[in-house]
Each structure stands twice: as C-alpha cells, then as structure tokens.
Structure 1
C-alpha cells in the first residue's frame, strides 16, 4: 500500500503547526488594540467620574434667583437648601423644586436649572392674590385657584375682600368653605375689568348668591359662578343703559335688572 504523498504530508504538518506566522501576528495586533481601547475607556470613564464628583471643578459656587416680588432671593436660597461645594451633577432639581413649593407656599411654579460649570438658577413665579380673607388684624391672600397661600399684615391695594356668610348653626351644608372660596374666585375673575377696579368686596351668602360691593356703594347681584362671560357682557351693557342705578342684578343674564338712583 502506497504511503501519503508529499503534498499530503505538507498539509498535515501545516495543520499540526497552526496557522501561518502572518495570521498569528495579525491576531496578536488586534488583541493588543482591543486591550489598549479597553484601558483607554476605563481611564476616560474614571476621569469623567472624578471630574464630575471628586474634583473641585463643576461644583456649586453660586445660587441665582429670579422672578421674586414679595419674596427675597435670600429667602428662596435658604428654602432651596442647596449647599455650596456640592457636585453640580449630583443635584436633584426635582427635589429642590418640590422643597421650595413646600416651604414657600407663595411660590406658584419654580424651575431649578443647572448653570454649568459652577451655578444653579432658580426661576420663580409667585402666586398673585385675587381675593383677601380678613383674619383678625391680618389678611389671607387667595390666588386664582382658590389657594390660601400667605398671611400679610397689610391688605394689598386693589384686591377685593372676600366675605363669607357664617354657616348655619344646624342643618346639612351642601358646600364647604373651600368650595365657596373657589366659587368666589371664579366670580372675581369673570367680572369686567372696569368693574373689577371698583370692586371692594365679594360677598358670598350661598353657592348661587354671590354679590359685589363697589367702592361708591353700588352693588351687583352676580348669582353663582356659572355663565361668567355672559354675565360680564350683560353687566357692562346694563351699567351703560342705567348709569345712575345703584343696584344691578345679572344672576340671570338673559333677564337683568337695575334699581335705585
């Protein structure tokens, strides 16, 4: 029986000795490149983490405040509780905003924005009072949503007083005080601008019996907060038609009335 040929012996030796030298060198080069890339990635990642958290760079050095009217920037900064020197990237802006709204009810909205590389900006919008509730010698401010957000010693100019009739001593109550306050707010916001400037008090007897007291002694029976736009249009026309009247009734806007002179 004939033995293997020379070509077969060469192929067998090649399989036993492994791939050709150029192929193994290429594999070694790829392996070294992969190792270098991994080392570089680790160094870059570690450097970035150190830069953001461990270094003295990119840390809070100032807290700026904008949008305040009654509040002072110092009050806002204190309530925000942002410590100088804190890594900027670690600040939870949502938590800062929630803390400000909780500690300072006068704040309606606030945006906490990182100001790279060393600051954080607090952009504040304060609530605006539309009604005042007297509380002894002080006044409670009520905003457009019916939120009682602050107590002040002096009544802001141009803001009507809210007068709630005392609840009955017995019997079921259909609407609570908070609901009546929200209804009064609806009325105050629906009143025509010219009338709103003269309004001194919004008086609430019941949910559907709300009236306005103007500075010159005239009164307006508004009714409930429903159909506010129609009532505003009707009241404007009625006052023009009866300029000397002292009492106006637009509780039913399709059947208004005026009296007194």
Structure 2
C-alpha cells in the first residue's frame, strides 16, 4: 500500500471515530429533553398527579362538604399548579372560619385544616341575634339567643368596635361555669366593663387589662356574701 493511501485510511478512521461520539451526545441530549418534557407534562399539566381527594380537618359547626364547596378545587387540578393562596382566601371567607391552612400531599391529596370561631357572647341588632367571637367580630346570625352565653351591651359611638372587642376579651377569659352564670356584659367604653349575673349580682370589671388574673380570682370572690363585687384591681378585689 502506498504512503498516500495509508495516510487517507488513517484520516478516515479519525473522522469516523470523532463523529460517532458527537452523534451519541446529540441523541443523549435529545433523549433527556424528551424525558424532561414528558415529566413536566405529567407533573404540571396532566391529571396523573392531580387532585383526587380533598381532606377537611377541624370542623365542628361546619361540615366538610361546606368547606370543600367553598374551596372550589377542580378534580384533577395538578397539585403543583394549585393556587393554595386562592383556596385559603375562599375558605377563610366562610363566616365560621377564624383561620385555615392548605397543604398538598402527593400523589393526589389536598388537606384543608380549619380553626372555627367559637362564640363567647352575642348581641342583638335590629331584632336579630348575632354571635360574637373572642376578637369581637359578629360573625353570623343565630335563630335565638344562646342560653349559655352572655349578651353584650355596648354603647354606640366611635369607640363601639374597641369596646366590643374589650367585652369579648373579658367573656373569653371567664371560666365556662362563670360565663354561663352571666346574663349580660355591659360597657360604656373599653375601661368601664360590668358583668350582670343572672341572679342579680353585679361585678365591676373595669378594663379588659389583666382579664386572665381577674377571671382566675372571680369564682372564689363570688362565693363570698354580697351583691356587689369588684375586680378592677385584681390585687385588691372586694365584695359588699
């Protein structure tokens, strides 16, 4: 074989040897692209990892179906594309919900956990009964006045909301057995709160400050003789 032919053969071998690895890299990159595209479609756009179960926890006054209806989560919505903030906003718009959380669990579950409002009293407004929670929010109507809860009587005016919140704070601090014995909680302003018991006795509470301490000493104070009780200063309570 001539020298020229030998050089040509070696050149062809080098050219072929360089092309094959290059083609393999292209094919491998294309395969990876296809796999990534398929996985993206499966996770983000198909219903394979979509919502199939909506679990609701923490309900008492509400039903799980009411929460699911408010959440409005479409069956099959991909979990990674679920707008949890929007779902949370819709659930927390329910009057009985104080707060909620929304979490997802692969492959197909959404968990909604709600914390319901708890009534600590009620108000009468235009003949209607409205339940009030510990924040002072009037969150929904009731068919009649709850016998186990006190009525809130708050003066109208610019301080009405602050006064209502203070009264609700007091009611929430009361032991349940005392709260059941209270007919009404009245306040001219946030610093002048009075409890009227069903048996006619009166408790001067003052402001909502130190309500936990005041509520703690009140049951023992009510065991004393008298009709007037004062816990405005929890360090110096008295009865007469």
The TM-score range, normalised by the shorter chain, is 0.7 to 0.9
8 A contact 1:161–1:200 mirrored in 2: yes
The structure-2 alpha-carbon separation of the partners of 1:247 and 1:117, relative to structure 1 and needing over 3 Å to count, comes to same
- Over the residues paired in the alignment, what is the CA RMSD in angstroms? 2.9
1:58 counterpart = 2:70: no
The structure-2 alpha-carbon separation of the partners of 1:230 and 1:83, relative to structure 1 and needing over 3 Å to count, comes to closer
Q: Which whole-Å CA distance do the structure 1 matches of 2:235 and 2:65 have between them?
A: 53
Q: Which residue of 2 aligns with 1:7?
A: none
Q: Which residue of 2 aligns with 1:145?
A: 135
Q: Which residue of 2 aligns with 1:106?
A: 96
Q: Which whole-Å CA distance do the structure 1 matches of 2:122 and 2:130 have between them?
A: 6
The structure-2 alpha-carbon separation of the partners of 1:193 and 1:80, relative to structure 1 and needing over 3 Å to count, comes to closer
Gaps in structure 2 of 5+ consecutive residues: none
Further displaced range: 196-205 or 29-38: 29-38
Deviation, 1:198, is 1.8
So what's the TM-score if we normalise by structure 1?
A: 0.76
Q: Which residue of 2 aligns with 1:74?
A: 65
Q: Which whole-Å CA distance do the structure 2 matches of 1:53 and 1:62 have between them?
A: 17
Q: Which whole-Å CA distance do the structure 2 matches of 1:201 and 1:153 have between them?
A: 19
Q: Which residue of 2 aligns with 1:31?
A: 22
Gaps in structure 1 of 5+ consecutive residues: 1-12, 168-174
So what's the TM-score if we normalise by structure 2?
A: 0.82
1:187 counterpart = 2:177: no
Deviation, 1:166, is 4.5
The structure-2 alpha-carbon separation of the partners of 1:34 and 1:228, relative to structure 1 and needing over 3 Å to count, comes to same
The structure-2 alpha-carbon separation of the partners of 1:155 and 1:32, relative to structure 1 and needing over 3 Å to count, comes to farther
1:258 counterpart = 2:239: yes
- The match for 1:227 among 193, 210, 215 is 210
The structure-2 alpha-carbon separation of the partners of 1:230 and 1:121, relative to structure 1 and needing over 3 Å to count, comes to closer
Deviation, 1:66, is 2.6
Deviation, 1:119, is 3.5
Further displaced range: 21-30 or 51-60: 21-30
The structure-2 alpha-carbon separation of the partners of 1:57 and 1:152, relative to structure 1 and needing over 3 Å to count, comes to same
Deviation, 1:26, is 5.8
Deviation, 1:97, is 0.5
Q: Which residue of 1 aligns with 2:148?
A: 158
8 A contact 1:180–1:207 mirrored in 2: yes
Number of residue pairs the alignment of both structures matches: 235
The structure-2 alpha-carbon separation of the partners of 1:99 and 1:199, relative to structure 1 and needing over 3 Å to count, comes to same
Further displaced range: 117-126 or 53-62: 53-62
The structure-2 alpha-carbon separation of the partners of 1:219 and 1:107, relative to structure 1 and needing over 3 Å to count, comes to same
Q: Which has the higher Rg, Structure 1 or Structure 2?
A: 1
